[in-house]
Amino acid sequence: MPLDPGNSPVPKATESAGFALDWSAPEHALPLIITGMAFVIWLCAFRFRKAWAAIVGINTAAVAAYTAWSARNGHWLPEKANDLAGEVDGLFNMVMVLITVFFILTQCVLIYAMLQKSPEGGRAKPVHGNHTLELVWTLIPGALLVYIAIAQLPTWAKMKGQNAGALLPSGYEVASDPADLLVTVTGKQWEWRMRYADPSGNKPEDPIQWASTPATADVHVVNELHAWKGAKVRLMLRTTDVIHSFFLPQFRFKQDMLPGKTIPALLHTDKTNINPDGTERSWEIACAELCGGNHYRMRGRVVIHPDRESFMTWLNERKSGQSARKEPLASADKPPANPMAGKQE
């Protein structure tokens, strides 16, 4: 069945236009300034070894300050498209806080060790291991990792479309599927192929089977994921060749796609990227798994329409264009007419 390229052509490989440095933009200037500072600090440390501990402390403080400034000014994460993205950001920030605390702790220990005087004779004395200390620095990180693993389970269950109270994803169940729209996403070197079930028709009895068996009324689009604000979109993720990873940054959604498997997931579309003036904010589809030489070309876009009516208008336009292309193809498949038919001998 012919594939509809959608409203825009499939992204093609283009030559890089180069990096235009803008010193007025903090996200351009500050990393360069900090890199220069780090180089100067390294030179000073190489020349004045006694000052190494203080220099490490200054460098650590500078990195921490820039990190905090970036987070406060929105240079870390893209726009959030749903509430689930906020939950993922909360998990991300929790892990970052834990990492920061232990980073500062270990750097303080390192600086303290550097400030100690050299032992008599210039030789360090061997010290046997402290079993209590070893248990502490093993059990605390282990307990934190277990906590992180448990804390993320409810969010992961929601991404899979489980019940709100579920702690562990228990598998896909058709009877309890809350989806408003079914879309099969197939990764292929190097593009995304979307297939939509018409939401105004009957929902497939077995969406898993439907994901591998296209229906006649399905609408095919390349590199574009469309839905409407407030819809729950059941994604059936597949790949025809290698492992791909379907990544939607604004939704904080990422799922690996494995050959031979259909992986169900549920996408909550709580926000539209169509502005009141009709312009569109760019929400990207990216492949987050190195899948070959043209991996960088495997890009698409997400369009969340303001309402169901505008989505159905788009879908019907795609369906009409798809049907119009099928007719000449069907005619071409017919055998040629017999020129001798109807002639009398």
The predicted structure's pLDDT at residue 157: 84
The predicted structure's pLDDT at residue 19: 41
Q: How confident is the model at residue 108 (pLDDT cuts 50, 70, 90)?
A: confident
The predicted structure's pLDDT at residue 221: 92
CA 52 to chain CA centroid, nearest Å: 40
Q: Which domains does the chain have, with CATH numbers?
A: 181-330 (2.60.40.420)
pTM of the predicted structure, to 2 decimals:
0.70
Task: Name the region of 254 (left: φ>0; alpha: ψ -120 to 50; beta: rest).
Answer: beta
pLDDT tens-digit series, residues 202-220: 788 888 889 988 888 889 9
Contact (Cβ atoms closer than 8 angstroms) between residue 223 and residue 301: yes
Q: How confident is the model at residue 47 (pLDDT cuts 50, 70, 90)?
A: low
The predicted structure's pLDDT at residue 13: 35
On the 0-12 / 13-18 / 19+ scale of CB atoms within 10 A, 307 is middle
Q: How many CB atoms lie within 10 A of CB 194?
A: 23
Q: Return the amino acid letter for 111.
A: I
The predicted structure's pLDDT at residue 109: 84
pLDDT tens-digit series, residues 51-69: 666 777 777 777 778 877 8
Share of the chain above pLDDT 90, in %: 31
Q: Which residue has the higher pLDDT, 144 or 130?
A: 144
Structure tokens at 344: 């009398």
Q: How confident is the model at residue 246 (pLDDT cuts 50, 70, 90)?
A: very high
The predicted structure's pLDDT at residue 67: 76
CA 236 to chain CA centroid, nearest Å: 16
pLDDT tens-digit series, residues 6-46: 444 333 333 333 345 455 555 566 667 777 777 776 777 66
pLDDT tens-digit series, residues 304-328: 999 999 999 999 988 888 876 655 5
Q: Which residue has the higher pLDDT, 258 or 175?
A: 258
Contact (Cβ atoms closer than 8 angstroms) between residue 110 and residue 57: no
Task: Kindly give the pairing relationship between strand 232-239 and strand 181-188.
Answer: parallel
Which position has the token pair 């479309």? Answer: 161
Q: CA–CA separation, 60 vs 104, rounded Å?
A: 8
Rg of the chain on CA atoms, in Å: 28
Q: Which residue has the higher pLDDT, 96 or 119?
A: 96
Average pLDDT score, the chain: 80
Q: Which of 312, 287, 260 is nearest to 193 (CA)?
A: 287
Calculate mean pLDDT across residues 189-197: 92
Q: How confident is the model at residue 278 (pLDDT cuts 50, 70, 90)?
A: confident
